[in-house]
Amino acid sequence: MSPSAVERPLHRSVCRPFGDGRRKSLSSRFADILKGRTAIAYDPQDLTTMYQDAAGTLPVYRPGTGLVDPPVGLMLDRSQGLELGPELFDDAGVAFRGESSRISQGVYRIYSSAGVLSSINLICLEIGKTYNVEFSVDNVGTLGQGLQVNFGSVFTATVTEAGIFTCILSAYKADFEVKRILTLGVTDFSISNISVREIKGYHAYQTTTTARPTLSGRYSLLTATETLSTQSVTTAATDYTLKFEGAGTITLSGTATGVYSAGTHTIPCTAGTLTCTVAGTVTRADLRVKRDGSTLPAYQSVTNANTYDTTGFPLFLKRDRADDNLIVQAPAITGQTAWGSIDTVDIAAATIAAGAYKPFGEITAGEPTCTQWIAINGTLTAAEQAILERYVYSKSKLPVGA
């Protein structure tokens, strides 16, 4: 008898009762928990859900790539899969201003012969909601300065050429309720296939520019880490891990003291300024908050504040604890919130009242970093609870229960 004759029946009898043989991912099982439930889910690691401005006109970029860490003015809720609602645009509801007109049903001329404001009205937009707006620019007769979509005090990027134009659009002020596609200067465009669909969910925003959190992936406090030079950093009162290679030494002074050679060291620090004085050659140096059981890479290459490696490092929302915060017009939720930060995870029962809510806490409260934020209405089974925990811990690259 060949080995394969024995193996085959066993393989089949074990595998088949469990479905199609494919195991669902943790993300997929988490998505199943959200189905049919009122929930909110923010994921700073999903770049497609964040915008630098509250209006959603300027997407964020990956931090560490040479530009300053981007602010986050709008964070989309992923709990409903960023599903689009039904089509809201209706040709019959279009009103015109200036010389703009209807060419045929669903096809419009946005035209100004003398640079006077001319527009078509998108009556279906409602203040306080977030939309995916799309239309086709079929022809540009006279460019002028192009077209813009204007919703409240929000203006999108200018449209200057034929093709499909898409934007996310939100407005939060009810005192300036214009909603239109308008000309800029002497302009003659024809557009069609206008689509306006609400992005389902409870999206968090911040209209005050200075109060927007930033998106970061920076874990090591040091800069020029490939070959370290003497520098000072700000520490909190907690344990840090110092790791480096090379024949040189690092002498610590300030919030911690000691002389260290190559290796991995635990450094208890107080709050304040820590000076790392380098003697000899110190390479691949890393200083970060100590995280027991973390699966983060042990070394993060940091050139400077704007250029650093984020491969393997979860991105996180970072609040300055002076004024940063996001606000959401939340539904009533009585159930659980789960908050992942770069240092810890907190899963707790919570009640959220319907209305304006600050998911990341008051300015001086809560963790200043967030790798994941979830609120789920209702009671979870023990199995669902376990999936939620594993999901949130995995997003922070921390072992469950850390």
Dist. CA 47–CA 49, nearest whole Å? 5
Classify residue 360 by burial, with Cβ atoms within 10 Å: 0-12, 13-18, 19+.
buried
Min dist. Cβ of residue 189 to another protein (A): 28
Q: By the criterion CB under 8 A, which residues form the site for another protein?
A: 71, 153, 173, 207-212, 214, 234, 320-324, 337, 339, 346, 348, 350-352, 358-367
26-34 vs 382-396: helix crossing angle, rounded to 10: 130
Token code pair at residue 354 = 């319907």
Indicate the residue among 111 and 360 with the shorter CB distance to another protein.
360
Indicate the residue among 94 and 317 with the shorter CB distance to another protein.
317
Instruction: For residue 22, give Cα distances in angstroms to 66, 156, 272, 346, 395.
Output: 40, 44, 51, 31, 22
Min dist. Cβ of residue 234 to another protein (A): 7
Indicate the residue among 43 and 367 with the shorter CB distance to another protein.
367
Min dist. Cβ of residue 321 to another protein (A): 7
Indicate the residue among 142 and 351 with the shorter CB distance to another protein.
351
Please report, as a single letter, which amino acid is at residue 294: S
Indicate the residue among 35 and 173 with the shorter CB distance to another protein.
173
Token code pair at residue 146 = 């192009």
Indicate the residue among 144 and 340 with the shorter CB distance to another protein.
340
Min dist. Cβ of residue 215 to another protein (A): 12
Min dist. Cβ of residue 330 to another protein (A): 11
Q: What are the two backbone dihedrals, phi and then psi, of residue 203, each rounded to the nearest 5 degrees?
A: -95, 135
Secondary structure letter of residue 227 according to DSSP: B
Dist. CA 199–CA 384, nearest whole Å? 26
Min dist. Cβ of residue 326 to another protein (A): 12
